């Protein structure tokens, strides 16, 4: 898969305005910018924690500044594209590239593994055409909680299978699907579902999916813990 259009946007930059993920508690925060890491083609070994703040918010009166990944990584295997990144809204950018490249066929099913549903409606709907426009929209309009509805609206997916419960992990998936994993499914708050159950089922789904997006979600799970689980899956 050619990722040059994605790399034209994902070169390592900052969002300084109250847009996208940087809009959360913007007026109350002292840290006023978040980092968007560059995208490289690589391997699991290239996925490491960086020092830049990629998400900032106020929780219980305290400012929380979360560092994310040093870089986003595209892993290409025979018949399979995997994107690993930090904030989950970047998935919209990578889905756009998959759709433009014919890897994601219109009307496919999205299997969304996450402790959150991420189905809030955005303030603006995507009206662009190209991958670069999708990247700008993903970063300057969308945030970590509203990136799925616009992907449905443009027709990339016609159904979302939400996997955030023990019952959902028992699903048997048939037919082509895009697999979207948020590693916060392994956060302590989700410990009621045994890790071995989650890992076994996710490995099975990963083996069947041709297009996979994996978010490390810095605000919702420690990044070293997230990468520990990522390495057990990939």
Please tell me the distance from the alpha carbon of residue 213 to that of residue 113, in angstroms, as a whole number.
10
pLDDT 10s digits, 152-202 = 999 999 999 999 999 999 999 988 999 999 999 999 999 999 999 999 999
Model confidence at 230, in pLDDT bands (50, 70, 90)? very high
Strands 39-41 and 34-36: unpaired
- CATH fold, domain 72-233, is Rossmann fold (3.40.50)
218 contacts: CB under 8 Å, gap ≥ 6: 54, 55, 66, 67, 68, 86, 87, 226
Mean pLDDT along residues 14-28: 98
Please tell me the distance from the alpha carbon of residue 89 to that of residue 164, in angstroms, as a whole number.
18
Question: 38 exposed, middle or buried (CB, 10 Å; 0-12, 13-18, 19+)?
Answer: middle
Mean pLDDT along residues 128-151: 96
């Amino acid at each position: 898969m050619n990722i040059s259009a994605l790399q034209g946007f994902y070169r390592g930059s900052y969002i300084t305005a109250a847009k996208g993920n940087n809009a959360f508690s913007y007026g109350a925060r002292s840290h006023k910018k978040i980092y968007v890491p560059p995208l490289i083609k690589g391997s699991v070994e290239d996925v490491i924690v960086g020092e830049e703040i990629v998400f900032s918010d106020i929780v219980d009166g305290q400012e929380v500044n979360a560092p994310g990944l040093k870089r986003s990584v595209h892993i290409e295997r025979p018949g399979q594209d995997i994107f690993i990144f930090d904030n989950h809204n970047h998935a919209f950018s990578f889905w756009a590239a998959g759709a433009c490249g014919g890897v994601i066929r219109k009307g496919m099913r999205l299997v969304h593994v996450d402790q959150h549903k991420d189905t809030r409606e955005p303030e603006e709907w995507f009206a662009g055409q190209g991958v670069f426009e999708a990247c700008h929209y993903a970063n300057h309009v969308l945030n970590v909680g509203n990136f799925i509805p616009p992907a449905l609206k443009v027709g990339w997916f016609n159904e979302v299978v939400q996997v955030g419960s023990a019952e959902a992990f028992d699903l048997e998936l048939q037919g082509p699907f895009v697999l979207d994993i948020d590693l916060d499914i392994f956060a302590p708050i989700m410990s009621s579902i045994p890790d071995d159950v989650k890992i076994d089922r996710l490995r099975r789904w990963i083996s069947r999916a041709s297009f996979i997006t994996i978010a490390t979600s810095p605000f919702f799970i420690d990044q070293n813990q997230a990468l520990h689980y990522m390495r057990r899956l990939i």
